[in-house]
Amino acid sequence: MITCKQCGTQVEGDVKYCTNCGAPLEIPETSQNTSQIDLSEKFKQFNDTADTTAEFTAEDIEKNKVMALLAYIIFLIPLLAAKDSKFARFHTNQGIILFIGAVIASIIAAIPIIGWIIAPILSVIITVLAVIGIINAAGGKAKELPLVGKFKILK
């Protein structure tokens, strides 16, 4: 919202001239970075998911961070090597979901045209989610992933 210095009209949106009198509008300095702020704001909203870190013991988190992180790369390793870790299991669950997503993406990729468009988008989303998961695991957080974190495969 910008107020016109000429006539006092409040002008909405991304306009350079007053919609009432046509005077050039002075865009406040803060709006220069808006696109950047918008993006990090959007990401924050996107990544605003349940954080259940408090349900895990500090010892478990400390001991099994690496296993939790591996869950997003090769989920089979923590599934076999860190069965007893609740923290590793939390991330393994999400790793498996992303793996299933990747399998679905590769199946969709076989569908001509539509699949060729959707599969790469899915792959990008899965990659972004895996990176978020790895960052959470490395940071010792049991935070749900956006979009897929609600699904629970492992009990």
Residues engaged in binding Zn ion (CB under 5 A): 4, 6-7, 9, 18, 20-21, 23
> Quick one: 9 or 49, whose CB is closer to Zn ion?
9
Q: How far is the CB of 7 from Zn ion (least distance, A)?
A: 3
Task: Report which of 145, 153, 152, 151 is spatially closest to residue 126, judged by C-alpha positions.
Answer: 145
- Give the DSSP H/E element, type plus range, for residue 11: strand 10-11
> Quick one: 23 or 147, whose CB is closer to Zn ion?
23
Q: How far is the CB of 22 from Zn ion (least distance, A)?
A: 7
Listed as own residue / partner, the contacts of 71-74 with beta carbons closer than 8 Å and 24 or more positions apart are: 71/95, 71/96, 71/133, 71/137, 72/98, 72/130, 72/133, 72/134, 72/137, 73/130, 73/134
> Quick one: 20 or 34, whose CB is closer to Zn ion?
20
DSSP code for 17: B
The neighbour count for residue 69, using CB atoms within 10 Å, is 20
> Quick one: 5 or 42, whose CB is closer to Zn ion?
5
> Quick one: 1 or 113, whose CB is closer to Zn ion?
1
Q: Which two tokens stand for residue 121?
A: 């988008």
Q: How far is the CB of 15 from Zn ion (least distance, A)?
A: 11
Rg (the chain; Cα; Å): 23
Q: How far is the CB of 29 from Zn ion (least distance, A)?
A: 20
Q: How far is the CB of 121 from Zn ion (least distance, A)?
A: 43
